[in-house]
Amino acid sequence: MKFTKMQGIGNDYIYVNCFEEKVSDPERVSQIVSDRHFGIGGDGLVLIMPSDKADFRMRMFNADGSEGNMCGNATRCIGKYVYDNGLTDKTEITLETRSGIKYLTLYPENGKVKTVLVNMGKAILKPSDIPMNAEGDSFINKPIEVSGKEVFITAVSMGNPHAVTYVEDVDGLELEKIGPEYENHPLFPERVNTEFIKVLDSHTIQMRVWERGSGETWACGTGACAAAVASVENGYFKRGEEITVKLRGGDLFITYKEDGTVLMRGPAKTVFTGEIDV
DSSP H or E segment with residue 83: helix 72-84
Closest CA to 155 of 139, 167, 142: 139
Contact 237, 231 (CB under 8 A): yes
C-alpha angle 163-164-169 in degrees, rounded to nearest 5 = 135
For residues 215 and 36, what is the distance between their CA atoms, to the nearest angstrom? 13
Q: Which positions are annotated as active-site residues?
A: 71, 220
Residue 73 φ/ψ, nearest 5 degrees: -65, -35
Is residue 207 packed enough to be buried (19+ CB in 10 Å), middle (13-18) or exposed (0-12)? buried
Mutual orientation of helices 72-84 and 221-233 as an angle, nearest 10°?
Answer: 130
DSSP bridge partners of 206: 198, 246
For residues 31 and 81, what is the distance between their CA atoms, to the nearest angstrom? 22
Query: How many C-beta atoms lie closer than 10 Å to residue 212's C-beta?
Result: 23
Q: What is the pairing mode between strands 112-122 and 100-109?
A: antiparallel
